[in-house]
Each structure stands twice: as C-alpha cells, then as structure tokens.
Copies of this chain bind each other. A is one copy, B any other.
Amino acid sequence: MPVETRDQALIRTLIERWAEAVHRGDLEGVAADHADDIVMYDVPPPYEGLRGLEAYLKVWPPFFRWQAQGASFAIESLEVTAGEDIAFAYALLRCGTEEDLRRDPANRLRLTLGLRRQDGRWVVAHEHHSFPYVARGGQSG
C-alpha cells in the first residue's frame, strides 16, 4: 500500500468517525461533515434518491431504532482517492443483526462517497449505500 497523503488520512478519519457516530446513534455526529446539498442513494427507496441535508437526516432515526436490536455497523475495508478539492471513497461494512450475519455471513453493505473541499475542510456531497441483489433464479443488471 502506498503511504497515504494528508488529505487521504483526513478523509479516512472523517469516514471512520461518521461510521462510529452511526453506530452510536449520534445524529449530530452523523451530520457533522455533510454538505447542505448532499444527494444520497440509500439502501431503500425513494428511487430518485434523497436531496439535501434535511432529507438525509430523516433516514437515520429509523435506522438507529433498527440498529438498537444489536445490529453492527462497522467498516471492514475503506479506500480513499483524494485530489486537491475533490475526492471519492468506497468501503465495505458489516451491517446487520446477528441473525442476518449468521444467515449470510459474507454479505456486506457497499458504500461509495463523493467529497469536496469547502471552506478549507472536506464535506460529503454524495453517498451511495447498497446491498448486493441476490437473484432468485432471475437475472440482474
């Protein structure tokens, strides 16, 4: 692995802290480094995605309630590519209840982030969350 640049390290820390805030159910921590105009493709619909920080923040309380059953939300791998003012990152996370992970131990939440530097600090402008689609005898895209 090449040595991380300062910006890669900053973004890695930002994403690790965000994931810890998600796991704590800390909405303020989740929002701390997110742009007002964030566009999120969440695991569930809406099909067209969620636009704006207000819509983004409404996603989390129901997730926190589900997580309170004892679900994990833990980064397993994270790769960051950072330029001068724009960056992207992708990660795999263990995300599920103990039962979910017993039933399907290899399943991972896939996460892709787009970031920009704004007023001297990195903010998340795009988030794409998904689980792979396991076809039941059909085809998928």
Give min CB distance, A110 to chain B, whole Å: 4
Whether B108 and A63, one on each chain, are in contact in the complex, defined by CB atoms closer than 8 angstroms, is no
CA of A41 to CA of B135, assembled, Å = 16
Q: How many copies does the complex hold?
A: 2
Count of residues in A whose CB is under 8 Å from the partner chain: 48
Whether B92 and A112, one on each chain, are in contact in the complex, defined by CB atoms closer than 8 angstroms, is no
Whether A133 and B86, one on each chain, are in contact in the complex, defined by CB atoms closer than 8 angstroms, is no
Give min CB distance, A116 to chain B, whole Å: 6
Q: Which residues of A contact B (CB under 8 A)?
A: 39, 41-49, 62-63, 66, 73, 79, 81-88, 90, 92, 95-96, 106-110, 112, 114, 116, 125-126, 128-135, 139-141
16 chain-A/chain-B pairs, Cβ below 8 angstroms:
A41-B110, A43-B133, A43-B140, A44-B132, A47-B107, A48-B92, A49-B92, A63-B141, A81-B116, A83-B83, A88-B88, A96-B141, A110-B128, A110-B130, A112-B112, A130-B130
Seed contacts A44-B132, A128-B128; 16 additional CB < 8 Å A-B pairs: A41-B132, A43-B140, A45-B134, A47-B107, A47-B108, A48-B92, A49-B92, A49-B110, A63-B139, A81-B125, A81-B126, A83-B83, A83-B84, A86-B88, A130-B132, A131-B133
